Structure 1
Amino acid sequence: MTVVFVSELKKASKRLTCAKRYKIQRKIREHNRKLRKEAKKKGVTKRVKKDPGVPNDAPFKEDVLREAEQRRIQVRSFSASRKLSSVYVAPIGHHICVINASEVIIEVLDARDPLGCRCPQLEEAVLKHEGNKKLLMVLNKIDCAPKENVKKWLNYLQREFPTVAFKASTHLQDKTAQDKKRKEPNRTLGLISEAPSFRGSCLLELLQDYARKRQTEGPLRVGVVGFPNVGKSSVINSLKGSRVCNAGVLRGVTKCMQEVHIAKNIKVIDSPGILASPSNPGVALALRSLPSTHKQDDVLDAVRDLLKHCNNQQVMLQYNVPAFKNSLEFLTLLAKKRSLLQKGGVPNTRQAAEIFLCDWTG
């Protein structure tokens, strides 16, 4: 018979003596103090300037505070409804170079989802950068959104930064093709339709106004930034009037910075697209034209969210499918229409969803 004493069953106590606990706390304080000293030597500080707020003697103080609170509520409710995260990769590499080398930064936004295309980190980097840099927003692809929506977005965005509505030109030819046409006027012209841009002259006049008001010599350097497929290169091509930058439906066509002389006193810098952080929800990443790298549920959820904001009749006419009740039924009909079938004749809804998202970004 084995005898087990009660003292052997008790677990070791995790309590510390007061002297040992105080010693650990002192070591932690000394370690943090050492880190702060090293950061101070390197010029790195985490202190955030406190917002002074609205002075008490400012006129209409209550109205200003009430309007600011309403705007915060609108942004919060819109972000919650779209299920998009504001966590992005900080603008590094090319974008830091573009900000440093530019006097005016143009952030290109998609008119169908302007808030989802904004990068708070990049905007903050521009505003806090030394040299009094200007931030300008271009609401591109306005032909893909209802006119009333575009007007409301313009009024909303113009409260923060100067914003211009824009529609980039399509099917522009390169410089050599245009020169060849001028030399051969007898040949048949107009084989490629060149749809004119909308408000391109307005944007160019705004940049020329910036160039005239500045006091430095040389051309005004303008950096163009934004997410993939928002139309950065197309905006530059429209301002130039010819295809000087590569543009396409596929993500990542622009792989390096490129300088383009738009006018005698204006030079534009094209840059690669901003990459979203992997910590974002799968739906947000799929909407940023990355459908093939995510799980099937993320792609299907992205299509479902997009269909909520679309007119079903327009979708039926665009894809020539009958009426549908939900996103899964629509993808099934689209897969059958495009003959996207798996083994046993099962419709491949994943492939149909990728096609739909590619059409959205393109």
Structure 2
Amino acid sequence: MVKRSKKSKSNRVSLKKKHKIIKKVKEHHKKKAKEAKKLGLNKKPKVEKDPGIPNDWPFKEQELKALEIRRERAKAELEQNKAARKERAKKRKLGLLEEEDDVSMKKESVGEETLPVSKIRDNSERAFYKELVKVIEASDVILQVLDARDPLGTRCSDMEKMVMKSGAEKRLVLLLNKIDLVPREAAEKWLKYLREELPTVAFKCSTQEQKSNLGWKSSSKAGKTGMSGNSILQTSDCLGAESLIKLLKNYTRSHEIKKSITVGIIGLPNVGKSSLINSLKRSHVVNVGATPGLTRSLQEVQLDRNVKLLDCPGVVMLRSSENDASIALRNCKRIEKLEDPISPVKEILKLCPSKVLVTLYKVPSFDSVDDFLHKVATVRGRLKKGGIVDVEAAARIVLHDWNQGKIPYFTMPPTRTEAEVSEAKIVTELGKEFNVDEVYGSESSFIGSLKSVNEFNPVEVPPNVPISFDERMLEVHDFRAVFVF
């Protein structure tokens, strides 16, 4: 039989020891409290009692009424601020509130003075215009980025005039971005149309998410299929970078004295200026996003020892003839800031066949814009308090899908008149400096590998007119200081 050890192996404290510890702790606390009492540390400050209004004061009733009014006013302001905070939280949750709007709303809620919305908009547009002037003045070659789906609608004639007036040594090149979103027939015709006026390059930006080592694909391999059987055009890699860099290098070599150049990237909001820089640099060096106005100021990126890139914010200072619907469909204005999001949707319904929208949004056939938006809001669960259908939220969903390319569309170039043909002439001097024949020949293979109209059935819409600045917004004397570096 095994004998048990008399020595206890338990780690528990005996009751005698436990009570001894408790007693010592109490004595310690008692001693500390006694010392604090002697020093007067625990003394509570005396609160002076409000004596109130004396009964024999002759204006007591008037003062009591004024006090009641002040209390009611403070209570109403408190309720109003509380409701404003709830509204801001709701909009922030839905993603409809920008940071600058949140700050202005907070200032309004606490009673701070804020500038009128029109004044703030004017100031921001003037600031963006200053950045545009800086980029044009500091650049040797200016790349105007156009959206391949609507090159004419995303072209700004006033920007081109500014480049031409800024100096005879400036060179303007057009870049047809998002070339993979249009059919082959449209891309070929647009390149031919634009090359009658200026050197034009086709491009597809990289859509990869990693921070560095963004992929490039050679133009000669664009038509080939990968291991999965998909065309390289359907991948997230960049296309056209080699051709563009070759064109810029040809320009640097054509000047014996000048060995390095500065390239300014200009264009309307959301045409892909920042994405172009990231694709050329093969890393995320500038912020990108589908929201117009993400780039706020000039940014410099050194591509290599011979080429420096300047990113410019998208500038939109429109004539009064331009309506909000036309601008919203070009993604030049933030959707959440549109006062009337339903009007652009009316334009979309005029341009798109109903069967395309029925298939995309999985709604039954509709009769009108209101009927369509009611059904979209019901399917997507956009309801207000009390189960009321939120038509404006549904309209913003459709607009967002249009700008993101979920509703595929394209335009065809207009036919030139005889007068326009004589005006649009190939600048042979520019062609020699950039050696465009060599560049155009290298990109023909991936243009030919684009899908045709019958392969993905996009919607053909008429091209928009080029955007022009509002002369009333431009005050030359305000910007003379910008030209001094």
TM range (shorter): 0.5 to 0.7
Seen in structure 2, the aligned counterparts of structure 1 residues 207 and 169 have a Cα distance that, compared at 3 Å, is same
Three-state SS of the structure 2 residue aligned to 1:92 is: helix
Q: In the alignment, which of 189, 202, 205 is matched to residue 246 of structure 2?
A: 205
Aligned to 1:196: 237
Q: 2:164 matched to 1:123? A: no
Seen in structure 2, the aligned counterparts of structure 1 residues 99 and 281 have a Cα distance that, compared at 3 Å, is same
**What is the Cα deviation at residue 270 of structure 1?**
0.5
Q: In the alignment, which of 319, 329, 332 is matched to residue 374 of structure 2?
A: 332
Q: 2:133 matched to 1:133? A: no
Q: 2:196 matched to 1:154? A: no
For the pair shown, the structure with the greater C-alpha radius of gyration is 2
Three-state SS of the structure 2 residue aligned to 1:116 is: coil
Deviations 1:134-190 (A, max 9, x none): 111111122333332222222222221111221111024224999xxxxxxxxxxxx
> After the TM superposition, which of the residue ranges 130-139 and 231-240 deviates more from structure 2?
130-139
Seen in structure 2, the aligned counterparts of structure 1 residues 147 and 307 have a Cα distance that, compared at 3 Å, is farther
Seen in structure 2, the aligned counterparts of structure 1 residues 328 and 156 have a Cα distance that, compared at 3 Å, is farther
Aligned to 2:144: 107
Q: CA RMSD in A?
A: 2.8
Q: In the alignment, which of 260, 271, 291 is matched to residue 335 of structure 2?
A: 291
**Contact 1:289–1:361 (8 Å) recurs in 2:** no
**What is the Cα deviation at residue 294 of structure 1?**
3.2
Seen in structure 2, the aligned counterparts of structure 1 residues 327 and 213 have a Cα distance that, compared at 3 Å, is farther
Q: 2:270 matched to 1:226? A: no
Aligned to 2:348: 306
Seen in structure 2, the aligned counterparts of structure 1 residues 354 and 319 have a Cα distance that, compared at 3 Å, is same
Pairing 1:271-282 to 2, within 5 Å after superposition: 271-277=312-318, 279=320, 280-282=322-324
Q: Identical aligned pairs, as a percentage?
A: 40
Q: 2:396 matched to 1:359? A: no
**Contact 2:213–2:282 (8 Å) recurs in 1:** no
Q: In the alignment, which of 158, 161, 170 is matched to residue 207 of structure 2?
A: 170
Equivalent residue letter for 1:129: S
Three-state SS of the structure 1 residue aligned to 2:188 is: helix
Q: 2:291 matched to 1:247? A: no
**What is the Cα deviation at residue 194 of structure 1?**
7.3
Seen in structure 2, the aligned counterparts of structure 1 residues 302 and 177 have a Cα distance that, compared at 3 Å, is closer
Q: Equivalents in 1 of 2:254, 2:209: separation in Å?
A: 32
Equivalent residue letter for 1:304: K
Q: 2:308 matched to 1:267? A: yes
**What is the Cα deviation at residue 343 of structure 1?**
4.6
Aligned to 2:39: none
**What is the Cα deviation at residue 217 of structure 1?**
3.1
**Contact 1:229–1:361 (8 Å) recurs in 2:** no
Three-state SS of the structure 1 residue aligned to 2:129 is: coil
Aligned to 1:43: none
**What is the Cα deviation at residue 106 of structure 1?**
0.7
- Gaps in structure 2 of 5+ consecutive residues: 1-124, 216-233, 405-485
Aligned to 1:94: 131
**What is the Cα deviation at residue 119 of structure 1?**
1.1
**Contact 2:213–2:283 (8 Å) recurs in 1:** no
**Contact 2:208–2:214 (8 Å) recurs in 1:** no
Three-state SS of the structure 2 residue aligned to 1:108 is: strand
**What is the Cα deviation at residue 218 of structure 1?**
4.5
**What is the Cα deviation at residue 121 of structure 1?**
1.0
Equivalent residue letter for 1:226: G
Seen in structure 2, the aligned counterparts of structure 1 residues 176 and 160 have a Cα distance that, compared at 3 Å, is closer
**What is the Cα deviation at residue 338 of structure 1?**
1.3
Pairing 1:53-68 to 2, within 5 Å after superposition: none
Aligned to 1:341: 383
Seen in structure 2, the aligned counterparts of structure 1 residues 343 and 141 have a Cα distance that, compared at 3 Å, is same
Q: Equivalents in 2 of 1:307, 1:241: separation in Å?
A: 39
Q: Equivalents in 2 of 1:316, 1:150: separation in Å?
A: 28
Aligned residues between the structures: 259
Equivalent residue letter for 1:267: K
Equivalent residue letter for 1:330: F
**What is the Cα deviation at residue 256 of structure 1?**
1.3
Higher relative contact order, chain-length normalized (CA < 8 Å, sep 6+): 2
